[in-house]
Chain A
Amino acid sequence: MKLTGFTAKYALAAIVFVASMAHAESAVVNKSVMLRDQPYLDAKPLGGLPAKTAVEIVSHQAGWVLVNVGNDREGWVRIFDLDTSGNRQPLRTPPVPNTLLDTVRKGQANPEQLQRLQQASVSSKDAFDAARAAGLTQLRLDWLP
């Protein structure tokens, strides 16, 4: 089936929507914080959240996270105010061994795979063009002190 431009556009939008849904994860606020209506420190406060309040992560914007605190009530908190460690899943039983290192250590040189790796590289011009197409704008920024 050949997609028209219109159909393809909405098919793409559906893919992006599904990808954003996959982002939903839970966390707790790690201290008492203010929920805000925009991702800014001086944005309108929507009410305080006591430490350990459970939230669902909806989306990210810079250093802020849009969270759902239940009853479809949403607002923004700083990313550093969220703790995801309480979301840890129990271990699978029996545990699956991580064989990555053993496998690597036993590996013999593989020139064919190395060539594939090297051939997949891109030039700086290609990287620049791809970055522009992806909407990335270069900033000049000093290292953090």
Chain B
Amino acid sequence: MNRIIYIILAVLLLFTACKELDVTRFDEDAKVYFYNYRYRVRGDTLTQQDSSSQSFFNVLGNQNTDTVWVYVFAMGNTESFDRPFGIKQINTDSTYAAVPKTHYVPFDDEYVSRFIRIPANQSHTAIPIILIRDETLLLNEYRLEMSLIDNEYFEVAMDTLARFVVKTADFGTKPDIWDAEWKTFFGDWGSEKMRFLRDYVVGSGFNWEERPIYGTGTYYKTKANSELEKYNASLPDGEVLTEPTGTIVTFPTR
């Protein structure tokens, strides 16, 4: 008897588990979302990113702005006219929040606002986040946390894809592929080591997120050792290049 009751209960549970799924359809109301599938490492699988890091460390010294492009896609049918969408900074009260006009060009700027819209007959656009080189970036990383917001043309599509963060700084940050790729040639990462490599080995604008060809990595390793030897010899009283932590900067010698 019990067995029959259990079976009936299980069948009832089966029905309870089934409910109508609320699927977001692309041909319904106009909605917007951040779409930033990128290669974290070139050659790897594309993955959706919810943030992007930028550093003026790797930007030529006489260049005072740097632009990060953030992609926004629209759902629903296209229209024959431009459709602005809503966007705003949401971390203005936080410590190290990016400050408009100090760390980035605000969204209501005449130039930038031209891009805060889905163009006529299109379903996506890219917003220029124009970052400004400010001396406060030498000390700390600042964050611009932004969110899409509803307006008369678009609703926000999905909470998970409604927010995006751009981080900016002016010091060397550890590349994502350092341990997997660059450590072979340069050893453990350090900010002073990074600065030295930029200034004496690889130059500004170097793409640290690109996997090196082994032969090229060997060339950089040889050059790094050679240049470091010269650099240390130029320092007074037997000083050597050190990290802020006191660790002496060295490169693999074999």
Tell whether A and B belong to one assembly. Answer: no
A residues whose Cβ falls under 8 Å from a Cβ of B = none
B residues whose Cβ falls under 8 Å from a Cβ of A = none
